[in-house]
A and B are shown apart, each in its own frame.
Chain A
Amino acid sequence: MPVNDTYTDVLIIGGGVVGCAIARELSRYRVRVALVEKELDVGFGTSSRNSGVMHAGFNYKPGSLRAKVDVRGNALMDDLCRDLGLKIKRIGKLTVALDEADVPTLNRLKEQGDANGVPGLEIIPPQTMQKLQKGVEGLMALHSPSSAIISPYALTIALAENAAANGATIRLGREVTEIRRPAAPGESFEVTTVSAEDGRKETFRAKVVVNSAGLFSDAVCRMAGITDYRIYPCRGEYYVLDKRLDGSLSTLVYQAPKPNAPGLGIHLTPTVDGNIIIGPSAEYIDGREDHACTADVMAALRKEGHDLLPSLRMSDFIRNFAGIRAKQTPPEVGGNLDFVIEDRKDVPGFVNLVGIESPGLTSAPAIAEMVRDMVAAHIPLAERDDFNPRSGRSPFFFSELPPDVRADMIAENPNYGEIICRCEQITKQEIIDAIKNPLGAKTLISIKYRARATMGRCQGGFCLPRITRILRDEFGWKPENFLLRSVRSPLYAGHVREDKGGDVR
């Protein structure tokens, strides 16, 4: 098979939120940047499978990298969301002490947070707690006003699209399988990738390689001859709840953490789009891509949900998902290790990110700044004068705009008048924009993460046939072009009647 060669200054391996934030940060400078992602879209790994919380930063040891990049990342998020046209809701968080035993924990967290530079931390009594969230009970709580929620997949996509708009190359469906270190100082890495679609190889030559491969960061390390790390996947399952319950949570409520817990515990988290998610569980598993949900955990989450939200009904559960933490500690050790963010001295030009579990989402923009400085040690970085930090997009879905604005927009473009996804009231134009995304991602999940279609209470029962019709009639898709998420997940088996090919109405 013929092998293509692509030259770049920096090659980023992995299009999660971290890789995409790095690509966007580097696109400010006069360097060639390419990002390769093995899936058919960015953010299909852990970055679309988490709680979407911008953590304040009091849970991490002072002086640790996690503390540093989390607090910095959280502080960067308002401007970033404004520039990229994303929703961010600073709803704050209550970490609640249920009994006396939790009180020292709260005090320790406050001290730790103050040392980390977390703004506005306060220990508050029950009356103040209840003003922030009706019905919450406990002895006292640590209130962190900078805790916030965002849409994790929207952030990842927006970072990648803005990077691409500023000249970065984003290559989807390309898995890195081999890395050859530079034969001599001043020479390039040779990174071999294989296409998910046709198996063709393409080699990237790069002066600097960034490993942001998430759950596979240890595997990528090994390709570069680094054997120091091992990832232990630890799965967290969730339920998504119907929008009927929107408004039941005005802030985040967590219990005071227990020593050595693998995560922050199961809780309710509102999403920026008006759903509530219940989770995550924590369970070490073998597979790094085993996103299955399991009967026992699902039952436990349902029970937890009913306890936390008594008005919850069975019909409010609309979907499940799971995300996997890239842990560096095996189950018998538990807890977390600090992030690894290093410029490898033994492999010059190899910038290595390992164990970026929570709060990796919050930290991504700050990690990107650190990586930028590491890259600058190898390649001089001169700022471009034409960098455009803005996406030019509105953070709102069409249905969220006032009626008169909508009426004017429909008058200009009738596609805004046609509703395709009834549950979320998503219009045809929003579907078309999603299909025409600048990254060229073409799976149904790509459309879902961009336009929200299929994410409502009917889960696509209504809009899937309609989206199918648009793709067929206006984009010329054949049944075999429809993929759920990967080349291994075709939606359709062909036509019913080959001779007709089209609409049988």
Chain B
Amino acid sequence: MTLAIRRLKACVAVIGGGPAGLAAAVAARNAGCGDVLLIERDRILGGILNQCIHDGFGLHTFGEALSGPEYAGRYISMFRERNIRSLEDTIVLSLAPASEGGLEILASSRAGLVAIDANAVILAMGCRERPRGAISIPGDRPSGVYTAGAAQNLVNLENIQIGKRVCILGSGDIGLIMARRMTLEGASVESVFEILPYSSGLPRNIQQCLNDYNIPLFLSTTVTKIHGRGRLEGVSVAQVGADRSPVPETERYVPCDTLLLSVGLIPENELSRMCGVEIDPVTSGAVVDDTFMTSVPGVFACGNVLHVHDLVDWVSVEAAQAGAFAAAYAAGSAPEAGIPVKPGDGVRYTLPQRVSGARDCTISLRVGAPWRDRSIVVRTPGSASEERRIIKRTKMVRLHPAEMIRVDLKAADFAGASGLEVCVE
């Protein structure tokens, strides 16, 4: 490469300066890595939290309800106090294993292109929203259809009012938060429609963002058509049957000038794929072991790029672990063989997908449907040669797909297991 490309070295490079990247960088430094470099494409650190001006962050970590920017601010202070290097306004364009070992990052900023050689890389790029095309809503393609997060950015950060009469498709948390936000800003929020028979947002958001403002939520209902050649004029909605396809007799028209889509988040794994990281088809994030290392040695992942979280507190916890393990790897610790962890009945995914057995660990999981009074059971899968063994049983009053569940395991409890399976009983 020419001289015009600046070269940098780092022991641990962190891609993304949201809560995951910040906590990972701080932990890597705390674990003794003197040479941590964090790269963030936005002009300020903090990630998606900067546009989340509502409160409710940090109840677990700090025991108080902070706004998004306040929560981020705490971590930014810890980050700054440790004099960790950062490149803001710098976007990582590519990531690849370097021919001489280690990893090579190519990043771009107004100051030029920069190539970074790193012993270990922590992926903390967060996620993006699923757009209209990905859910194939028929009809016209007028203005006034936004993803909820883009709308949140425009309203909260750019002082732009996006519309006056709003419908929301999808009851994900961002959609719920925006229902309240748009109401407070003087828009009339007509309805929220959710195709599933239950909400995909947190119960507390349903209460605080919809019920408190008398915004109706229609379950098992979807938008079947978008109307308007210029600006959005209205949507057709219909109830869906058990197969989730619309029942024509129930179709009705709802006038509105704005439709917000809160129909799912997709971990932003372009760089991970580029580098050859194996991706779990269910989480759309990397397959990792209990050190948060991906299938590519030296590449770690945490936060929303690994799997979509509902609570930022768990992002921070998970990222801190990833940061410490990445620092240990960069200092020379070897990867360990793994015991596979698999989702069983009722469980959509488990993470990590492999555990070493060498240490205590936490399994994160999500269930496939809401339940009451069930147990989460961790067991060995059982085979002809090995009897099925229950490792841990946790009673749960309610289980909800919107809420991530964490199960702590002691290394001693699953020593010698050839595999683990997590299921709902």
Within 8 A of B (CB), among A414-465: 414-415, 417-419, 422, 425, 457-462, 464-465
Compute how far the CA of A240 lies from the CA of B110 in the bound complex, rounded to whole angstroms.
32
- Whether B157 lies near A318 (C-beta < 8 A) is no
Whether, in the assembled complex, A100 has its beta carbon less than 8 Å from a beta carbon of chain B, the answer is: no
Flag whether B348 is at the interface (Cβ < 8 A). no
- Contacting residue for B111 out of A289, A291, A318, A414, CB 8 A: A414
How many whole Å from B379's CB to the nearest CB in chain A? 32
User: Contact: A459 with B133, CB < 8 Å?
Assistant: yes
Q: Are A462 and B128 in contact (CB under 8 A)?
A: yes
Known contacts A465-B150, A468-B154; A415/B110 CB under 8 A: yes
Pair A496/B106 contact, Cβ less than 8 Å: no
**Which chain B residues lie closer than 8 Å to A404 at the CB level?**
1-2, 4-5
Q: Mark A249-293, 1 if CB is under 8 A from B, else 0.
A: 000000000000000000000000000000000000000010111
A314 and B161 CA atoms in complex are apart in Å by 32
With both chains docked as a complex, state the minimum distance between the C-beta of A357 and any C-beta of chain B, in angstroms. Answer: 22
Q: Assess whether A292 is in contact with B5, with CB atoms less than 8 Å apart.
A: no
Q: Which residue of B lies closest to A443 (CB)?
A: B143
User: Quick check: B131 and A483 within 8 Å, CB to CB?
Assistant: no
A490 on interface, CB distance cutoff 8 Å: yes
Say whether B138 faces chain A, with CB atoms less than 8 Å apart. yes
Provided the pairs A407-B2, A465-B153, A489-B143 are in contact, do residues A318 and B112 lie with their beta carbons within 8 angstroms? Answer: no
A493 contacts across to B, CB distance below 8 A: 161-164, 257
Measured between alpha carbons, how far is A505 from B158 in the docked complex, in Å? Answer: 8
- Assess the B185–A465 pair: CB atoms within 8 A: no
Measured in the bound complex, the distance between the Cα atoms of B158 and A315 in whole Å is 30
Q: Mark B221-246, 1 if CB is under 8 A from A, else 0.
A: 00011000111000000000000000
User: Within 8 Å of chain A (Cβ to Cβ): is B352?
Assistant: no
Provided the pairs A319-B133, A483-B143, A493-B162 are in contact, do residues A465 and B110 lie with their beta carbons within 8 angstroms? no
Contact (Cβ within 8 A) B106 A293: no
Instruction: State the CA gap A488–B89 with chains docked (Å).
Output: 36
Which chain B residues (128-156) contact chain A, with CB distance < 8 Å?
A: 128-129, 131-134, 136, 138-144, 146-147, 149-150, 153-156
* Segment 183-202 of A: residues with Cβ below 8 Å from B: none
CB-based contact B1/A479 at 8 Å: no
Q: Is the CB of A419 within 8 A of B230?
A: no
Q: Which of A14-22, A23-31, A294-302, A323-331 contacts B (4 or more CB under 8 A)?
A: A294-302
In the bound complex, do residue A488 and residue B133 qualify as a contact, i.e. CB atoms below 8 Å apart? no
Instruction: Enumerate chain B residues within 8 angstroms of A485, measured Cβ to Cβ.
Output: 143, 230
Tally of contact residues, A, Cβ under 8 A: 65
Check: B116 CB closer than 8 A to any chain A CB: no
A135-186 interface with B by 8 A CB criterion: none
**Is A502 close to B, CB under 8 A?**
yes
Which of A464, A468, A490 is B231 in contact with, Cβ under 8 Å?
A490
- Tell whether A124 is near chain B: CB-to-CB under 8 Å: no
Once the chains bind, are A417 and B113 in contact (CB under 8 Å)? yes
* A5 on the B face (CB < 8 A): no
A411 lies within 8 A of chain B by Cβ: yes
| Interface check B412, CB cutoff 8 A | no
A469: Cβ under 8 A from any B Cβ: yes
Number of interface residues of B (CB under 8 A): 54
Contact of B311 with A by CB under 8 A:
no
A503 with B158: CB separation less than 8 A: yes
A314–B164 Cα gap in the complex (Å)? 32
User: Cβ of B231: which chain A residues have Cβ within 8 Å of it?
Assistant: 488-490
Whether a CB of chain B sits under 8 angstroms from the CB of A320 is yes
Kindly report which residue of chain A lies nearest to residue B94, judged by CB atoms.
A403
Whether A407 contacts B112 by the Cβ 8 Å rule is yes
Rounded to whole Å, the gap between the CB of A304 and the closest CB of chain B is 14
Most buried by A among B4, B157, B160, B229: B160
Q: Is the pair B230, A461 in contact by a Cβ cutoff of 8 Å?
A: no
A411 with B4, Cβ < 8 A, contacts A302-B136, A468-B160, A488-B229 known = yes
Contacts A240-B133, A410-B108, A468-B154: A492 and B139 contacting too (C-beta < 8 A)? Answer: no
CB distance from A276 to the nearest CB of B (A): 14
Q: Given A289-B229, A320-B136, do A461 and B128 touch, yes or no (CB 8 Å)?
A: yes
Known: A493-B164, A495-B160. A318 touches B131 (CB 8 A): yes
CB pair A458 B153 closer than 8 Å: no
With both chains docked as a complex, state the minimum distance between the C-beta of A80 and any C-beta of chain B, in angstroms.
30
Chain A proximity of B190: nearest CB distance (Å):
15
Decide if A408 touches B155 in the complex (CB within 8 Å): no
What residues on B are CB-neighbors of A487 within 8 Å?
230
A131 near B: Cβ within 8 Å?
A: no
Let me know if B159 is at the binding interface, CB within 8 A. yes
Asked if A387 CB lies within 8 Å of chain B CBs, one says no
In the bound complex, do residue A503 and residue B159 qualify as a contact, i.e. CB atoms below 8 Å apart? Answer: yes
Decide yes or no whether A486 CB sits under 8 A from chain B. yes
Partner of B142, one of A298, A458, A489: A489
Residues from chain A with Cβ under 8 Å of B108 in the complex: 406, 410, 417-419
Question: B136–A298 contact, CB under 8 A?
Answer: yes
Does B109 belong to the interface (CB within 8 Å)?
yes
Determine whether A333 belongs to the interface, using a CB cutoff of 8 Å to chain B.
Answer: no
- The answer, yes or no, to whether A504 is at the interface (CB within 8 Å) is yes
CB of B266 closer than 8 Å to a CB of A:
yes
The 8 Å CB contact of A403, one of B113, B140, B141, is: B113
Contact A490 B143 (CB under 8 A): yes
B354 at the interface (CB under 8 A from A): no
- Additional 4 contacts, C-beta under 8 A, given A293-B139, A414-B110, A489-B142: A295-B138, A298-B136, A403-B5, A411-B4
Sorted nearest first, the 6 A-B pairs with minimum C-beta distance are A488-B230, A407-B4, A484-B143, A459-B131, A414-B110, A319-B133
Sample of 19 A–B contacts (CB below 8 Å):
A317-B133, A406-B108, A407-B2, A417-B111, A418-B89, A425-B93, A458-B128, A464-B150, A465-B154, A465-B158, A485-B230, A488-B230, A489-B230, A489-B231, A492-B162, A493-B257, A495-B160, A495-B161, A504-B156
Q: Taking beta carbons and an 8 Å cutoff, which residues of A are in contact with B?
A: 239-240, 289, 291-295, 298, 302, 314-315, 317-321, 399, 403-404, 406-408, 410-411, 414-415, 417-419, 422, 425, 457-462, 464-465, 468-469, 472, 479, 483-497, 500-505
